[in-house]
Structure formats: C-alpha cells, structure tokens
Amino acid sequence: MVELGDIVRGEGAQYLQTHSVARVQRKALRDIAQCRTAALGWTPAICDDCEDEYRLLSSCGNRSCPLCGGETRTKWIEAREQELLPVPYLQIVFSVPRVLYVLAQYCPKAFYDAVMRAAGQTVIDVGRSELRIQLGCYVQFHTWTQTMLEYLHAHCAVPAGGFSEDGGRWVPFEPQDLPVKALRKRFGTLLCRAVENAAREGKFESLPPKVRIEQLLARARARRWKVYAKPPFGGPEGLIQYLARYMYRVAITNERIESYENHQVTFWCRKSACGDEETLCTLDGQVFLERFLMHVPPKGFVRSRSYGFLGNRDHKKKSERAFELIGQARKPPSRAPFKPLRLCPACTSRRGIRKTHFAPGPDVDPQLDLPLRPPPIEPIAA
C-alpha cells in the first residue's frame, strides 16, 4: 500500500531545492517522512489478539500526518456527542471569495483567524437581530477540495434553538427561520472589517507591495458571497462525524492514494462535492506535494472554535442550563470510553485490516532527513 510518506521521501528533496517552503511546511515534510520508521525509534507493545510482544514504531504526532491523530479524533467525537443538545441542528457553510485567497497565501494565520471570527460572530449577530435569541455554534475551518485544490470555507454546527434575550427560556426555531441573505450580508461585512483591522495592526505586513488590501476588499464587496445553510445529512451525530473527518485529518489520506510510480501520483476523489461517485486523478509528484503543502496549517492556528453560549467561557454552566430549559436531563454516554486497538502485524494481516493506526509499518531505508530551516543564501560575488 502506498502512503503519503513514500511520496514525501521520493519527492521531498527535489521539491525543497526548487520551491520556497515555510518552516512549518518543512517540519511537516520531515515528520511525515520519518513517521512509523526506525528513525523515530520504537516502544514494546502487547498485541490485543495473540498477546505477543512486538515493536510499535513511534508516530511523529504532526497534525498534517495522515498516520497520526486517530485516537485524538475518536476522543473528540465522543466529547462532542456528549455535548449535543436534544434538538435538531443546522449546518452553515461560509465560503471565502477567491479574490481574497492571496491574503491566505502570504499571511495564513491572520487571515484564517479573521475568517473564523467572522463566521462565528455572524451566526450570533443574525440570531440576535432576526430571531431575538442567543445562539451558539461550533466553527471549523477547511481549506481543501477532493483534488487538494484551495477552497477556503468555514463549517458551522448550530443548534436549532437558543436562549431568550433574558436567558430565562429556550426558544427553538426552524432551519428556514435563519435567513441566508442576512447571513451572507453580515459575513461579508464582518470579514472585510476584520481584514481592515488586522491590516491596521500590522498583521499583513508580509504582503508584497503590489497587493493592495483596499482594492481586494472593494472587489470582494462587489461579489455575491456564497453561504449554505441546511439541516445536515444524518442528523447531529452525522454532522459531528463529518466535522471530525476534517478536524484530525489532512488534505488526503493514505486510503485514497492508489499508486506512486515514475514520479506520478494517482489517487481517488469524488467527482462532485455532494456525490458518492469516485474517479481517479493523476498528478506529477511535485505538483502533488505543492497542493498538499498548501493545506498545512500555520503554527498556532486552532482549526475548531466555539462561539455564543457554546463558547469556552462558562461553557459547562450554560450547557447544563440549556439541557434544563429544553426539559431533558443529560443522558449518560451510550457507549464505553474509547480504547485503542493494539495489533501486531501478523494479527492485522489475519484480520484482513488494510490499514490500522496502531500496527507499525515496515522499516523504510533510507530516511529523508530534512533540516527545519532552509540553508542560508550565499552572497553573490560582484
């Protein structure tokens, strides 16, 4: 089975020689190349099936690595499912105009933060102005399509109800009661305002001189902003599962990679965002790495946040109050706490598991040792 690490080891050295790479992207390449290999060492583990001891190769822990994050993702799902209110939920998607993508190219963290704050505040503001209730929402930021092209958008999970203005009642609403037109207008206003404020604070100083924020915002304001708001497929639990696939996964998973031969990468992708029909896509190895690195999040960026009465401030108290007003007590977890499955390579093969996060991969030699910092540029003699 071909893995992303195989492609990084095969294409990484050449890519670094021909492309400018940020420090966080360079670190992602190095970690992915070494993940589950002898370079990171190993720890003894006991197989849950045969109870034999085997060597569990260490994971890199990088959040851009498709081999890591499985346990964390499962625990995140359990925590969010316990917090789900016994009401319908609404899924809102805010898409960023492509004219503003250049801000993400040069100043990703500042721009991503502005998008997430604008999306969360839009839900709160429209709920207050249109429905006269205090809403809450989870916001998660996504950057990729099935073919790893750039698509900046924020997903919001919104309970179909909120606190009354005095906080004494729970007020439900129907999904169509939250007007998309108002969401679209408010999101555009807040995002443009956030970009202007960030520019005044010097957060966009890395932009090249030819990029003028005033011109970008003028072009963005003249466009029709895209906002999607409908009940999620599969109910609230399905929405949590959907968000979890992006919370602790990367632009492409190993399961989607079909082959890597002659510097060509072939992988599976859906033909449309809403359809299940899949097709094969083939890219040059260097183009594949370029697309993948576009989606490595900047250092310190938090991809999932909460706003309104679901925000971190007094979250537990407000959540308990919501359950009380809705009239249903908090239910105990319906399943046992998550326990990772540890399998040796032999038991993994016997079970017919194609890929498991917990079984070690084969030794890879040679390792790709990438320094975190690029080499200094030597001065050119006059």
User: Left if phi > 0, otherwise alpha if psi is -120 to 50, otherwise beta: which for 47?
Assistant: beta
The mean pLDDT of 332-353, rounded to a whole number, is: 73
Task: Identify the band that residue 124 occupies on the pLDDT scale cut at 50, 70 and 90.
Answer: very high
Per-residue pLDDT at 288: 97
Q: How far apart (Å, rounded) are the C-alpha atoms in residues 156 and 379?
A: 50
Query: Is residue 240 classed as helix, strand or coil in its secondary structure?
Result: helix
pTM comes to: 0.86
3-state secondary structure of 159: strand
pLDDT tens column, 246-265: 777 788 989 899 999 999 99
Q: Where are the domains of the chain?
A: 87-251+295-326
What pLDDT is recorded for position 23?
93
Are the CB atoms for 336 and 330 separated by under 8 Å? Answer: no
Range 105-125 average pLDDT: 96
The answer to whether the CB of 33 falls within 8 A of the CB of 8 is yes
Give the mean model confidence (pLDDT) for residues 58-86.
85
Q: Which amino acid is at 83?
A: E
Q: Evaluate whether 175 touches 228 at the Cβ level (below 8 Å).
A: no
Tell whether the model's pLDDT for residue 78 goes beyond 90: no
Strands (E) in the chain, as ranges, are 42-46, 53-57, 89-95, 133-134, 136-144, 150-159, 161-164, 170-172, 227-230, 257-261, 264-270, 278-284, 304-308
Over the stretch 191-218, which tens digit does the pLDDT of each residue have?
999 999 999 999 999 999 999 999 999 9
Q: How far is CA 46 from the centre of its chain?
A: 32
Average pLDDT for residues 87-105, to the nearest whole number?
A: 96
Per the CB < 8 A criterion, the answer to whether 111 and 134 are in contact is no
| 64-68, 140-144, 247-251: which is most confident | 140-144
The per-residue pLDDT for 382 is: 33
Helix (H, G, I), strand (E, B) or coil at 269: strand
The SS3 of residue 246 is: helix
| Residue 375 clears pLDDT 50, i.e. is over it | no
Distance CA 85, CA 19 (A): 48
- Give backbone dihedrals phi and psi of 241, rounded to 5 degrees, phi first: -60, -40
Q: Indicate the SS3 state at residue 55.
A: strand
Look up tokens 């001891």; give the residue.
53
- Asked if the model's pLDDT at residue 15 lies above 80, the reply is yes
> In this predicted structure, which of 73-87, 154-168, 287-301 has the lowest mean pLDDT?
73-87
Q: What are the distances in angstroms from CA 196 to CA 102, 143, 280?
A: 15, 22, 42
**Gap between the Cα atoms of 162 and 168, Å rounded:** 10
Q: Once rounded to an integer, what is the mean pLDDT over residues 342-346?
A: 82
Mean pLDDT, rounded, for 329-340: 60
Q: Which of 60-74, 85-99, 164-178, 182-196 is predicted with the least confidence, judged by mean pLDDT? A: 60-74
